[in-house]
Amino acid sequence: MSHRRVRPAQRSRLITWWATAGAVTALALGLPGTSVAADRPAPPEGGITSAPAAFVRGTLQPDAAPPGANNWKCRPTAAHPRPVVLLHATLTNAHTNWSMLSPQLKRAGYCVFAPNFGGAPGVPFKGTRHIPDSARQVARYVDRVLKATGSRQVDLVGHSQGGGLLPRWYLRFDGGTNPARPSHNKVRRLIGLAPSNHGTTLSGLGTLTTALGLNPTVSAVAGQAYADQMVGSRVNTTLDRDGDTQRGVAYTVIATRYDEAVTPYHNQFLTAGPGATVRNITLQDVCPQDRSEHLSIAYDSNAAQLVLDALDPAHAERVHCRFSAPLLGG
């Protein structure tokens, strides 16, 4: 049996191809990724949906709202006066990302809304388009929520892109805040689960694709949001130029040391500027045995309690740490 000798140039191309494929695969697994969520509300919230079941339904019915979300007749109560808008991650959709937290928030008495953005109707892997474009979609959606509910402000809860670069862009450039009159902000709180606030090295794969000039190639497959979230991207540098925060907004970051997608994980943390507050939380500082990583943090009961506490700090409850393992094993 003969063996063909792989020439150096061929070997270089093979390494580049495998690195690119690995980056896309890691992003798809770790960043659970021009449509907006269906107008009809989701089925009754019922029990908490498991992540595998949510993934299956989110793949087969990618425009379906998660349980408990998108009841356009919902009216906020005095106890919870602001609707909660859930923003999904890259290469996923609202149903896949939020089928645990959405019904939990609904049962707690919140009006819950969950748009799909950055992807065409019928496509399960959304949140892939240029982040400023997705931010404009979210801006229109928030305006619609405010009008439908009669509320003055919303609270945003997001995962990965949806908790970091996208809402920060919306707050700064697309009308989410009013720097001259912070009391007129459309957003009061931003809570990010494993947010890509200051970009990612993607466990080294992003560093490699950036160094090799391959981010445009990868983005042709995974979407422009891939390049936007790399360390040093134009989106990152534009946002960071004038500080991390906006006046009048309360920020909470919930990160995990086991994050393999937004790396290093401390890139997720924010620094408070004038008129803003920031609380940076490392999940393992609260629950040392919690092994949730980037994907599973959206289905982690400990992280969910931290979200509830951040939404209503006056009635925060102690987190009863439950053991959580990564969805993908390890």
Amino acid 288 reads: P
139: which 2 tokens? 């801006």
Q: Given this model, what pLDDT does residue 42 score?
A: 55
pLDDT (tens place) for every residue of the chain, 330 residues total: 444 443 434 333 333 333 333 434 344 333 333 334 444 455 555 555 678 889 999 999 999 999 999 999 999 999 999 999 999 999 999 999 999 999 999 999 999 999 999 999 999 999 999 999 999 999 999 999 999 999 999 999 999 999 999 999 999 999 999 999 999 999 999 999 999 999 999 999 999 999 999 999 999 999 999 999 999 999 999 999 999 999 999 999 999 999 999 999 999 999 999 999 999 999 999 999 999 999 999 999 999 999 999 999 999 999 999 876 666 443
The whole-model pTM stands at: 0.86
- Of 110, 38, 127, the closest CA to residue 74 belongs to 110
Reduced to 3 states (helix: H, G, I; strand: E, B; else coil), residue 278 is strand
Q: Given this model, what pLDDT does residue 10 score?
A: 39
Q: Give residue 76's region: left, alpha or beta (phi > 0; psi -120 to 50).
A: beta
Whether omega for the bond prior to residue 264 falls within 30 degrees of 0, making it cis, is yes
The residue behind tokens 């748009």 is 115
234: which 2 tokens? 């134009």
pLDDT digits (tens, 9 = 90+) for 185-202: 999 999 999 999 999 999
Q: Given this model, what pLDDT does residue 41 score?
A: 54
